[in-house]
Amino acid sequence: MSSPSRPKSPHGVAPKKDDKEESFWDKIGTLGRKKKIKEVQEVQEEGKNAIDSPGSPMAPALPPEEYALEENEERSMVEPRSMEDIKLKALIAVLVDWINDELAEHRMIVQNVDEDLYDGQVLQKLLEKLTGQKLDVPEVTQSEENQKQKLRTVLAYANRVLGLARTSTARWSVESIHSKTLVSILHLLVSLARQFRAPIRLPENVVVNVVVVTKKDGVLSHRIVAEEITSTYDDLGVRCERDAFDTLFDHAPDKLQVVKKSLVTFVNKQLNKIHLEVTDLDTQFHDGVYLTLLMGMLEGYFVPLHEFFLTPKDFDQKVHNVAFAFELMQDSGLPKPKARPEGILFNLPICFFKTYTN
């Protein structure tokens, strides 16, 4: 037995009398809503056109809320493709590692520089540790207004420490830090690391593309700016004790090839036992796989394969491998490596030498 057909909605047109009975204020409200929706759609379309215009071969995917700007307002963000740059990732990892080392006694752990530094608390503790001076600011701030006031005091102190005059244009501000602008935060941290000769080696020539969207005369426009975060440094920028390899790099770079050749011979003497061979330390050791296997051969044990990534696929897995190899070094009684995992991963030559001759 077939089921009864479902009643259909009537298609009749409502009498004109009902149309006329619609109040004037109902019509005004409807028109207002339609106009507002249309304005929002137009703003979103302008933003999309600005970003997707032919002048931008790499169009970043900005969410619609990024287009809702006030007149003459400017907003910027790192281009998504730049966020995947290995140099930028290495720089962020080195800076995070440095901050956590400095603040270990405070039991503060930074995982994300833009999410963890915007309210000024971590920056306050970092500056106090670096300068040995206590800042007169509240420890905890909840409201946005109080956070910005604290951040204003902290940044003013940082600028004085860095020797920046009030009239100079700093690459960071209260607004840019509090709004979690990654480029501004990195500029500040790099300046502090170099000013206080942090025991780290910053990746050089880190450049990121920044998309800047501006609203003027009701129209959105955009430009892409290449922002230099680090450059080539003459000094080491570290306060750790210099060793023979620092002298070699500075004064006798031609002799490095001789040392490197000797290291390759030493490494192959061990790795040949498991049918592996190295020809270039820089490219074959930077992901930590061979370094981990080498430690096992030198110490006479098998390294469980589940402890590291035999075929690392991304930056984090490679950092894990190198850090794990460093742990094996310390477990064997060697002193803590002078290089950092990110330095090895980033192919910083001096880090290789400091590690292999530890």
Look at residue 222 and tell me whether its pLDDT is greater than 90: no
d(CA 120, CA 129): 14
Cα torsion through 303, 306, 310, 311, rounded to 10: -170
Asked if 69 contacts 215 with a C-beta cutoff of 8 angstroms, the reply is yes
Least confident window among 99-103, 148-152, 352-356 = 352-356
Mean pLDDT of 100-114: 90
d(CA 339, CA 322): 10
Mean pLDDT of 75-91: 89
Q: Where do the domains of the chain lie, and which CATH numbers do they carry?
A: 84-203 (1.10.418.10), 244-356 (1.10.418.10)
For residue 55, what pLDDT is reported?
A: 43
Look at residue 6 and tell me whether its pLDDT is greater than 50: no
d(CA 121, CA 150): 8
For residue 301, what pLDDT is reported?
A: 93
Mean pLDDT of 74-95: 90
**For 191, how many CA atoms within 13 A lie in the half-sphere containing its CB?**
20
Mean pLDDT of 176-185: 92
Query: pLDDT band at residue 305, thresholds of 50, 70 and 90?
Result: very high
Least confident window among 40-44, 205-209, 324-328 = 40-44
232-277, pLDDT tens digit by residue? 765 444 444 455 555 655 566 667 778 788 888 989 999 999 999 9
Query: pLDDT band at residue 75, thresholds of 50, 70 and 90?
Result: confident
